[in-house]
């Protein structure tokens, strides 16, 4: 069966994006291949994830540049699942990740909204066992 392999995320510059996703969020850098003089194929994903990863796509047109940090119109666009909310929340805060709220408990799990280095909104969530 088909699955979602890569989700493109617009970034300003490759190096700052790699540093944030690898160092602050703890993602693995899977690939960083030069395509041409300005374009690279940069793929990151959370450790242990097998199917879906992020393609860090450098914004190259004015329209793309205007969307960096606002790809979803202010809605949460990405949901980062964890098996240990407390551990990952503390690690991310220590790495300088900006959380918009204190953790809250919902019927679907423990969750808090954070922003990436560009302002995109993410959920960190430890899903409730169902």
What's the first-to-final CA gap in the chain, in angstroms? 24
The pLDDT assigned to 105 comes to 97
| Residue 108 reports pLDDT greater than 80 | yes
Q: What confidence score (pLDDT) does residue 51 get?
A: 85
Alpha helix positions (H), the chain = 14-19, 62-67, 85-94
Query: What backbone phi and psi angles, to 5 degrees, belong to 76?
Result: -65, 125
pLDDT, tens only, 68-96: 999 999 999 999 999 999 999 999 999 99
* pLDDT value of residue 3: 83
Instruction: Give the chain's mean pLDDT.
Output: 95
Task: Categorize the per-residue pLDDT at 1 as very low, low, confident or very high, splitting at 50, 70 and 90.
Answer: confident
CB burial string 50-87: b at 16+ within 10 A, e below? eeebbbbbbbeeeeeeebbbebeeeeebeebebeebee
Say how far apart CA 109 and CA 125 lie, in whole Å: 6
Looking at the DSSP bridge assignments, the partners of residue 108 are none
Q: How far apart are CA 44 and CA 14, in angstroms?
A: 11
Rounded-to-integer distance, Cα 24 and Cα 95, Å: 5
Predicted confidence at residue 129, as pLDDT, reads 83
* CA-based R_g, the chain, Å: 15
Backbone dihedral region of 95: left (phi > 0), alpha (psi from -120 to 50 degrees) or beta? alpha
């Amino acid at each position: 069966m088909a699955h979602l392999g890569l989700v493109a995320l617009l970034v300003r510059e490759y190096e700052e994006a790699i540093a944030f996703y690898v160092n602050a969020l703890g993602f693995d850098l899977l690939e960083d291949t030069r395509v041409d003089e300005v374009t690279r194929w940069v793929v990151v994903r959370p450790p242990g994830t097998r199917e879906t990863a992020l393609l860090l796509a450098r914004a190259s047109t004015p329209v793309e540049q205007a969307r960096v940090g606002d790809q979803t119109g202010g809605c949460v666009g990405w949901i980062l699942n964890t098996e240990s909310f407390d551990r990952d929340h503390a690690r991310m805060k220590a790495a300088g990740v900006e959380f918009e709220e204190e953790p809250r408990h919902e019927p679907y799990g423990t969750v808090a909204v954070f922003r990436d280095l560009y302002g995109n909104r993410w959920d960190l969530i430890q899903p409730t066992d169902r």
